[in-house]
Chain A
Amino acid sequence: MTVASGAFTGTWLLVGIPLFSAAILLIGGRRTNKWGHYLGVAAPIASFVLGVILFFSLIGKGSTGRSIDEHLFSWTPVAGFRANANFLIDPLSICFVLLITGVGSLIHVYSMGYMAHDPERRKFFAYLNLFVAAMLLLVLGDNFVALYFGWEGVGVASYLLIGFWSYKPSAATAAKKAFVVNRIGDFGLSIAIMLMFTTFGSFSFADVKAGAPNASHATMTWIGVLLLLGACGKSAQVPLQSWLGDAMEGPTPVSALIHAATMVTAGVYLIARSNFIFDVSSQARLAVAIVGTVTLVFGAIVGCAKDDIKKALAASTMSQIGYMMLAVGLGPAGYAFGIAHLLTHGFFKAGLFLGAGSVMHGMDDEVDMRRYGGLRKFMPATFITFGLGYLAIIGFPGLAGWFTKDAIIEAAFHKGGTSGAIFGGCALAAAGLTAFYMTRVMIMTFFGEKRWAEGVHPHESPGVMTIPMWILAVGSVGGGYALILSGRLAKFLSVVVPRPADIDFKPIGVIGLATAGVVVLGVVGAWLLYARRPVPAIAPAGGPLTIAARRDLLGDAFNESVFMRPGQYLTRLLVYFDNRGIDGFVNGFAAFVGGTSSRFRRFQTGFVRSYALSMFGGVVLVLATLLLVRG
């Protein structure tokens, strides 16, 4: 850990600039309507430039000094309790800084076009900037409290942006749902942080890392599992996955930035950052891998059934984050691959979402893919960029997803034993499903017959929207080479996360060929089902699995029957108890006092002589008592 100097003393500006911009836009109000979006776009770009400068400064440091701590102030210095506002720049956080500000800037630029006709555009940019600031705080904090602060900040920004069109009841409900589900995860995270404090007396990554090997194994497992619960909430992993699909009610740039590229990957960051905890507890690590595996299959199945283009992509996001979770749950063998997949996923999924937004923009905000079809001629730029993102996600050889996803599958098989075979097998099967549902999206949207609603005239989006899509497409193509080949990212990250001795990625192996095989199978399957015969405008009934998958594999039904209804009964019981028991006692006592006093009131007759009599009687009583007592 090195104290910040030179360019690194400006680390706080990374967070400060977007936060300042958000403050100006929110406080300035309508006065900033005219130029607000320019400021809103400039802020993340400025952060990105600063991030690039810091990145190169960090690379220039040599592999030993690549962990720089900037102390801002002591936030709550109370006796032994010390939560510092410290920023930590190290290879892991700088990767995230570049992803957040880079992809974030592109999406901000895109939003200028996408939100051009929205009367609340200024507020939209303010919230987006707020999100960027909170997300940067999340990844830059050098302790768990700062991380938690950013964690809640992105939660708020996500809530505000999902419910941005709050006049739609569905959007308002979705925002609330995301917030409530996240609360469960955040509860876990906060308990984990408290446990860390009682165990180590500190929140900082460095202190916890130093103390972890000596702490009790059970405590570390608990901390690990609670951290995993937090990660599940934020990253929409099973069992807290239900909010992500509904979160698509937000504007599409929000889905691209928050619910695909950055915020939902915060859980993966948390697990990778806390690797020293999972090093101690192999049970917690196994739990991470299991959650990841379940989710990657879950998301892939749901993705196959959705007709809403954004919800299909959301299910895909869930599944891809499942891959990342599986990777970081594999331990040192997977950290670098998980982070690499996270970075490339940031590119291609953001690109896919922006493409979906572009399609919606041209199709009067239609999201039902059964109402698309044949769009490739009308939106060539969207088609090509979306297509590159598609090839990247299914793992077309040479593109980003091929490097990163195959690496995870291989690492899973490499784990060995029964668990390795199960994890690897699931990841392999889901790769086929990924190819299937993405091909389905592709075919239903860009190929085949026109199935548009009447009066829709699809058109290509303006340059301000397509240029970010092109840049993201380039990232989707080239990201894999840059990160995986010769273990570049793994070496870079080795300061933070341990890496295996054998880090070579062998794409042309048995597993690589098997993956390619299932991918081809998936593509061909989708082609047979959706390209060879016309897509019906009304979804066919489908089998029980299809119906379940359309309903998010009954996730909501489960939550409603297991948590919501008993919760409602409990509330009703409490209300009954409150009304009859507590209120009954209080009201009864009040009625008793009231009744007694109204009876006593009758003594106030207004007749002077009765008052005189009572005085007289009183005096007699007092005198008699005195006589008796004094004898």
Chain B
Amino acid sequence: MSPTYYLYLSAILFTIGSLGVLLRRNAIVVFMCVELMLNAANLALVTFSRINGDLNGQIMAFFVMVVAAAEVVVGLAIIVSVYRTRRSASVDDASLLKY
């Protein structure tokens, strides 16, 4: 099977993720969509690794996973604390930092 299909899948997943980030209001869903984008990127990296026949892409994917894990820790904590104070997880409600 041609590795190109993995790249198509990765592109589709990334598009879904980014659309989710842009369109959804629930912070948890937005957050999950971010994860989706990260994993789409991971998939692309691993595929490139396969195509090129070296390990660079896979190593990069590991780094992305580490960053994603760290991001989940911080991000979920922020979402929980925002929800506790504002009784809402909508990203549009938390729009105090503006002009």
Contact = CB atoms under 8 A, between A and B. Distances in A.
Contacts of A612: 21-22
Identify whether the interface residues of B are mostly helix, strand, loop, or mixed. loop
A607 B95 CA distance: 5
Contact of A602 (B21, B94, B96, B99): B99
B99 A604 contact: yes
Contacts of B91: 607-609
Interface string B67-99: 000000000000000000000000110111111
Interface size of A as a range:
10 to 19
B30 A608 contact: yes
Contact of B98 (A604, A609, A613): A604
B95 A613 contact: no
A616 B22 contact: yes
A604 B98 CA distance: 5
Contacts of B22: 609, 612-613, 616
Contacts, number: 33
B28 to A, nearest CB: 13
B58 interface: no
A613 B18 CA distance: 9
Interface in A599-629: 601-602, 604-609, 612-613, 616
Nearest to B25: A609
A619 to B, nearest CB: 10
A601 B98 CA distance: 9
Identify whether the interface residues of A are mostly helix, strand, loop, or mixed. helix
B39 to A, nearest CB: 18
B18 A606 contact: no
A614 to B, nearest CB: 11
B1 interface: no
A601 B22 CA distance: 21
Contacts of B30: 608-609
Interface string B12-31: 00000010011101000010
B86 to A, nearest CB: 13
Contacts of A602: 99
B96 A609 contact: no
Contacts of A605: 95, 98-99
Contacts of B25: 609
A370 to B, nearest CB: 79
Interface of B: 18, 21-23, 25, 30, 91-92, 94-99
Closest 4 CB pairs of A and B: A606-B98, A606-B95, A601-B99, A604-B99
30 contacts: A601-B99, A602-B99, A604-B97, A604-B98, A604-B99, A605-B95, A605-B98, A605-B99, A606-B94, A606-B95, A606-B96, A606-B97, A606-B98, A606-B99, A607-B91, A607-B92, A608-B30, A608-B91, A608-B94, A608-B95, A609-B21, A609-B22, A609-B25, A609-B30, A609-B91, A609-B92, A612-B22, A613-B22, A616-B18, A616-B22
Given A604-B97, A609-B92, A616-B18, 19 more contacts: A601-B99, A604-B98, A604-B99, A605-B95, A605-B98, A605-B99, A606-B96, A606-B98, A606-B99, A607-B91, A607-B92, A607-B95, A608-B91, A608-B95, A609-B23, A609-B25, A609-B30, A609-B91, A613-B22
